[in-house]
Amino acid sequence: MQLKASEMISTRKDRAVTIFSLILFLSVRIAGADLPSNASEEHDSTTLPSYEDDYEYNLPQFLNTTERIWIYQIKLIPLLTSSTVIRWCQAYNTINITSNETYFSRSYIDNHRRNRTEIFHGNFKHEYPQESYDAMDFGSPGATPLQHHEEMIYQGLNNTCAIIMVTWRKNELIHFSFAKRDIAYELRVTQSTLENPARDCLKEFNDTARSHTSFSPYSPDCLTGLHNLPHT
């Protein structure tokens, strides 16, 4: 039996519609597989907090504590002296602090196993304008200029630790030094967290100056060696 021309055209149209519908259905299914469900689009409420892009480090906030702050780990880069001198059991105490300056002490044990304490004066600085103080020039009280410089390059999420880059004698004119200065990266932690420093600071410190070896000037014996020092 032969189909009429009109019937053949109608049959072809029906087949074309069927094929088009099948292709459209498959396209929707494939595209839908790539889309997350509503549940997966929501943020997990247990996600740890993280810094926003515009987070500002705040050095005075970290230093404004009655706790002793210890150098837990350190990486030394002796670009000027070509020597590494590690002062064991280094700890900082804030003596006085205002919105733009601070006086603080640094205690340590020297090579003769004697307790030493030095007093410093620091003026807070901005590494970037219009942001919180994240650096300071510091040196002996009354010195002009204050010889040294330190910059906060990381502040712990709970403000119990920080990574500080110290540039020794940065503000001094040293002839034939070719602008080289000794640099130290210090992981500083508050005394109450010595047994369990914040993980974010430990990770960040490991990622800082990766090509340089880190030392641990702190040990539990330091608490015995420095406990008689005055908390000024």
Looking up residue 182, the CATH number of its domain turns out to be: 2.40.128.20
73 within some domain: yes
Amino acid identity of residue 214, one-letter, is S
In terms of domains, do 139 and 207 share one? yes
Q: Measured between alpha carbons, how far is 189 from 197 in angstroms, rounded to an integer?
A: 7
Per the rule left: phi > 0, alpha: psi between -120 and 50, beta: everything else, 102 is beta
Q: Is pLDDT larger for residue 163 or for residue 230?
A: 163
Number of domains in the chain: 2
pLDDT in tens, 144-181: 899 999 999 999 999 999 999 999 888 887 877 767 88
Determine phi and psi for 18, rounding to 5 degrees.
-65, -45
* Residue carrying the six token digits 């009109």: 6
| Residue 193 CB coordination number (10 Å) | 17
Q: What is the pTM of this model?
A: 0.72
Residue of 146, 194, 142, 159 lying closest to 64 (CA atoms): 159
- Tokens at 154, concatenated: 């990381």
